[in-house]
Amino acid sequence: MLSEVKAIMSTDIFDLNNYRPDDYESFSFLVTVTVGPKGEIGADLFDIDVCTPKWLLDNQNSDTILGKGKLIVFRCDMKIILARIRALFEGCSGKDWNEIATKLSRIGNWEFENYRE
């Protein structure tokens, strides 16, 4: 089984393809990637923060920063950013969807990551 990106969207930005930040050196926005089994209906959501190193420095509130769920970029080229996000989530393999989603949750925050039956 393989993963397939169904959609990439943001609640922070209306038009991701044409986004231009006010400050090109310091910005951050949340992206939600909808991913499911390739060729099948249904998908789960994975969140990833896109930010610059300067934004991290300016907005950190401790001496350490955990990188999970972050894509750190050095410039705002949305074509490159969206292609990288797609590459991170597309084509992950596993014996079933749970195995794939668990692997993808190492990259972005999975909507069911803390779910317990």
Ordered per-residue pLDDT tens for the chain, 117 residues = 999 999 999 999 999 999 999 999 999 999 999 999 999 999 999 999 999 999 999 988 878 877 889 999 999 999 999 999 999 999 999 999 999 999 999 999 999 876 544
Per domain, the residue ranges of the chain are 3-110
Q: What pLDDT shows up at residue 116?
A: 46
Three-state SS annotation for 7-28: EEECCCCCCHHHCCCCCCCCCE
- Judge residue 79's burial from the number of C-beta atoms within 10 Å of its C-beta, 0-12 exposed, 13-18 middle, 19 or more buried: exposed
pLDDT recorded at residue 8: 97
